[in-house]
Amino acid sequence: MEQVATSLGKSATFFSTPTALFVTFDGEIKSTRLIRVYPCDTNLGRYAELFDLQRSIRDDALATEDAWQRLQEINLSPNGYHAVAAIASYGIAASCVGVLVGGNLSVAISSGLIGLLVGMLVTGLTHLEYQTHLINVIAGFLASAVACSVQAWIGPSHFELTTLSALIVLVPGLHLTISINELVTQNLASGSARLAGAMTTLLTLIFGVFMGYGFVSALTVIPPSVAPIRPTLFLSLLVAIPIGLGLAVLFRTRYRDIPWLVISTVIGYGTMRVAGEFFSPFAAVWIASVVAGVFSNHVSNRLQLPSAVMLMPALILLVPGSLGFSGMTKIMLNQDLPSGIRLITTMVLTAVSIVAGLLITDVLAPRTQHPTIDR
């Protein structure tokens, strides 16, 4: 925004948090303004269009009136894909993540079906303008209750992995990583607010999961979960492709950017799996974030795209939200405080590893533009 203001010959200073934007126009008396904003879903399509508009203002000296008209057109453009495609993406992503986390066939199928239910629930309640945290509680309850029911009455399964996979789109791992990045780069107010928001989202999801588990366990005895089985590298890369396609829909990516999004998803997760064969988990995550960041910055510089189009999907399978989810599950469902604290600590250290990789990325492959990864 500072670059746009400078290009328009109107120097200004901006200060942002996830819920407020302060704007001060230099040289004007009483010129500071407060704009109240609200967190919303990721929309990489509009973000890319705004990126192109910024470039047109800077390079093509686009007039203010024309830029404003273009901004209105972007704001009025369709907000993503059809609801049916979005709901299907919830199911596809959930089923494929069920494979990645080591679930058996029952976990993969049930997590996909529950993911569809979660997608319908989130889409419907969002349309009815329910509060986000209330939606998280209801979604957590639904996913946990159905997953426990499958394990109790249908066949061998792993309700924790099933619930995690079904809710993976709602788990705030990316928000957590962004908040750590903002804290590291001294954006303390925004980073602290975003960290608090991510932890609140995680807690509301876990509360819903706890209620769903308690509801089913009060009706019947839930049998022990089957042991997870780590998928092969080939299978992991194979299921990463539909995950990338699902993320393209959920992130509302432009059609022409989808191939790059899928490629970056496969590169990010594939690098982590290969590096994990030779290095520690934290080192593998760091290496994957560096590779994904360098690739994203290089392609974005060549194609004049915002790096977030490729970087966000690449990081989504690296971010540690699932660790925090599992840690809180251990504490609330299993009363296993040491294991829960260990997993939560691992979550934070994993986020730090990703942020360290991104900082190195800006040195190895600096961006010609500096778009911010945000929601």
Are 171 and 101 in contact by the 8 Å Cβ rule? The answer is no
CA distance readout (Å), 291 to 80, 264, 349, 359: 29, 10, 19, 12
Instruction: Categorize the per-residue pLDDT at 371 as very low, low, confident or very high, splitting at 50, 70 and 90.
Output: very low
CA distance readout (Å), 162 to 83, 110, 148: 23, 7, 9
- Is residue 375 pLDDT above 70, yes or no? no
Q: Looking at 33-42, 126-135, 242-251, 291-300, which range is the least confident one? A: 33-42
Are 161 and 98 in contact by the 8 Å Cβ rule? The answer is yes
Q: What is the pTM of this model?
A: 0.86
Mean pLDDT estimate for the chain:
85
Give the contacts of 310 (CB within 8 A, at least 6 positions apart): 260, 261, 263, 264, 292, 295, 296, 299, 300
Beta bridge partners of 15: 22
Q: Kindly report, residue by residue over 314-351, the tens digit of the pLDDT.
A: 888 888 777 877 888 888 877 788 888 888 888 888 88
For the chain, the C-alpha Rg in angstroms (whole number) is 21
Query: End-to-end distance of the chain based on CA atoms, in angstroms?
Result: 16
Q: Kindly report, residue by residue over 254-276, the tens digit of the pLDDT.
A: 888 889 889 989 998 999 999 98
Helix axes 159-166, 188-219, angle to 10 degrees: 130
For residue 267, the surrounding DSSP H or E stretch is helix 258-276
Q: Kindly report, residue by residue over 43-90, the tens digit of the pLDDT.
A: 888 888 888 888 888 777 777 888 888 888 888 887 778 889 999 999
Distance between CA atoms of residues 265 and 238, nearest Å: 11
- Long-range contacts of 76-84, Cβ-Cβ distance < 8 Å, separation of 24 or more: 77/45, 77/46, 77/49, 79/43, 79/46, 79/252, 80/43, 80/45, 80/249, 80/252, 81/249, 81/252, 83/123
Q: Kindly report, residue by residue over 284-317, the tens digit of the pLDDT.
A: 999 999 998 898 888 888 888 887 888 888 888 8
Type of residue at 371: P
Tokens of 328: 């809180």
CA atoms within 13 A on the CB side of 169: 37
The residue behind tokens 């925090």 is: 324
Distance between CA atoms of residues 337 and 282, nearest Å: 22
CA distance readout (Å), 375 to 40, 64, 333, 372: 6, 26, 31, 9
Are 158 and 223 in contact by the 8 Å Cβ rule? The answer is no
The angle subtended at Cα 333 by Cα 332 and Cα 335, nearest 5°, is 70
pLDDT at 333: 79
Quick one: three-class SS letters along 69-136? HHHHHHHHCCCCCCHHHHHHHHHHHHHHHHHHCCCCHHHHHHHHHHHHHHHHHHHHHHHCCCCHHHHH
Which has the closest alpha carbon to 169: 41, 347, 37?
41
